[in-house]
């Protein structure tokens, strides 16, 4: 029985994940490093990769600040509407990326958005521009950090901080010396997951970015573009680069997590 289950699980994962993913790697290196190096010589692709990295960094920073703040409020404070807020923070996990894009366009669109024209009047374009891409990416990755930090905060309790407070530590000292070190690993996992999710966002970015070559085209949009233009090698190579980063993120988490668990 044990063996049957083991074989079924392994075979399922092999056919669904391992084999397909490995094919992308072999396709990329069909003719050595040629496709990767020609990719990195294409200025538009390089700009797209840079934009993806830039947007991901923004999204990680924003979601880390927001995530740490809101998690501390949720765990340690009581306020009316807390349960509703708690549930709503999960919305981005189950909303279609296309709906995310549409929602942002409806509010921040330069022509007909609720706030877009006003912001455009101040010289601040959101949609079809980098801020829109950052907002879309931040939206889809929003719950990840919170889901990592909240359980850790609940586990550590507040006794240490109360002790520190009774010894005269102020709020800043308590946060930097006690809370932050104890949620450090939660934040690290959150950052890694947020980074992977942000680099890979496609649908929402497609709607808000306008997909302008060399300006608002991100790496994931390049994959689609190249594939549809029959540049399969280029598509596989770009996909390989993206896949490598996300697999690296997963492996990092897998390596550091168990140690912390025990």
Partner 1 sequence: MTSTEIARVRPARTPRRSGPRSTLTRSSGLGLGIAMIWFSALVLIPLAAVVVTAIDGGWETFWATITNGQTMAAIKLTVFTAAGVTVVNVVMGPLIAWVLVRDRFWGKSVLEVMIDIPFALPTIVAGLVLLSLYGNADSPLGIDIANERPAVFLAFLFVTLPFVVRMVQPVLEELELDVEEAAASLGASRFTTFRRIILPSLAPAIAAGAALSFARGVSEYGSLVLLSGNLPFKTEVTSVRILSSIENDNVAAAAAVATVLLAISLTVIVLLDLIQRRVAARG
Span from 39-47, 143-151, 157-165, 175-183 in contact with partner 1 (CB under 8 A): 143-151
CB of 93 to partner 1, least distance (A): 7
17 is an interface residue for partner 1 by CB under 8 A: yes
Q: Which residue has 């919170």 as its token pair?
A: 146
SS3 label, residue 170: coil
CB of 152 to partner 1, least distance (A): 9
- CA–CA separation, 152 vs 184, rounded Å? 9
Least Cα distance to 188 among 90, 115, 254 occurs for 254
- Does 246 engage in binding with partner 1 (CB under 8 A)? yes
User: Please, what is the minimum distance in Å from the beta carbon of residue 204 to partner 1?
Assistant: 9
Phi, psi of 210 (to 5 degrees): 80, -10
Residue 222: which of 57, 49, 58 has the closest Cα? Answer: 49
Report the residue from 49, 196, 216, 233 that binds partner 1 according to the rule CB under 8 A: 196
Q: Is the CB of 11 or the CB of 34 nearer to partner 1?
A: 11
128 contacts 209 by C-beta, under 8 angstroms: yes
User: 67 to 126, contacts with partner 1 by CB under 8 A?
Assistant: 69-70, 73-75, 77-81, 83, 85-108, 112, 114
Compute how many residues bind partner 1; rule: CB under 8 A: 97
191 lies in the binding site for partner 1 (CB under 8 A): no
Smallest gap, in angstroms, from Cβ of residue 31 to partner 1?
16
Q: Is 206 in the site for partner 1 (CB under 8 A)?
A: yes
Which whole-number Å values give the CA distances from 71 to 75, 155, 176, in the listed order? 6, 13, 16
CB of 237 to partner 1, least distance (A): 11
Q: Does 234 help bind partner 1 (rule: CB under 8 A)?
A: no
For residues 223 and 228, what is the distance between their CA atoms, to the nearest angstrom?
Answer: 9
Interface with partner 1, residue 180, by CB under 8 A: no
User: Does the footprint of partner 1 cover residue 203 (CB under 8 A)?
Assistant: yes
Among 54, 66, 128, 175, binds partner 1 (CB under 8 A): 66
Q: Which two tokens mark 150?
A: 């909240």
> According to the binding rule CB under 8 A, does residue 161 interact with partner 1?
no
> Cα angle vertex 203, ends 104, 206, to 5°?
70
As a whole number of angstroms, the distance between CA 47 and CA 73 comes to: 39
Q: Which is nearer to partner 1, 3 or 123 (CB)?
A: 3
Distances (CA, A) of 251 to 18, 84, 192, 221, 254: 14, 34, 10, 25, 5
Q: How far is the CB of 236 from partner 1 (least distance, A)?
A: 7
- Give least dist CB 95 to partner 1, A: 5
Q: Which is nearer to partner 1, 42 or 175 (CB)?
A: 175
* 41 touching partner 1, by CB under 8 A: no
Phi-psi region of 81 (alpha: psi -120 to 50; beta: other; left: phi over 0): left
């Amino acid at each position: 029985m044990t063996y049957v289950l083991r074989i079924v699980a392994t075979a399922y994962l092999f056919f669904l994940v391992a084999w397909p993913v490995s094919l992308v790697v072999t396709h990329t290196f069909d003719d050595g490093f040629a496709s990767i190096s020609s990719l990195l010589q294409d200025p538009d692709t390089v700009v797209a990769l840079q934009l993806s990295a830039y947007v991901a960094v923004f999204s990680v920073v924003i979601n880390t600040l927001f995530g740490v703040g809101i998690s501390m409020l949720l765990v340690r404070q009581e306020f009316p509407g807390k349960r509703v807020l708690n549930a709503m923070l999960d919305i981005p996990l189950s909303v279609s990326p296309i709906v995310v894009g549409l929602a942002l366009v409806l509010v921040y669109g330069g022509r007909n958005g609720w706030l877009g024209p006003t912001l455009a009047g101040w010289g601040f374009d959101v949609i079809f521009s980098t801020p829109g891409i950052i907002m879309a990416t931040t939206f889809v990755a929003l719950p990840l950090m919170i889901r990592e930090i909240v359980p850790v905060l609940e586990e550590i309790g507040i006794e240490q901080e109360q002790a520190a407070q009774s010894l005269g530590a102020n709020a800043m000292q308590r946060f930097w010396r006690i809370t932050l070190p104890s949620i450090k690993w939660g934040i690290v996992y959150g950052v890694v997951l947020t980074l992977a999710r942000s680099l890979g966002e496609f649908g929402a970015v497609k709607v808000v970015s306008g997909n302008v070559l060399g300006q608002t085209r991100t790496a994931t949009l390049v994959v689609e573009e190249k594939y549809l233009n029959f540049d399969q090698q280029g598509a596989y190579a770009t996909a390989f680069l993206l896949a490598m980063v996300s697999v690296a993120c997963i492996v990092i988490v897998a390596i550091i997590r168990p140690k912390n668990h025990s």
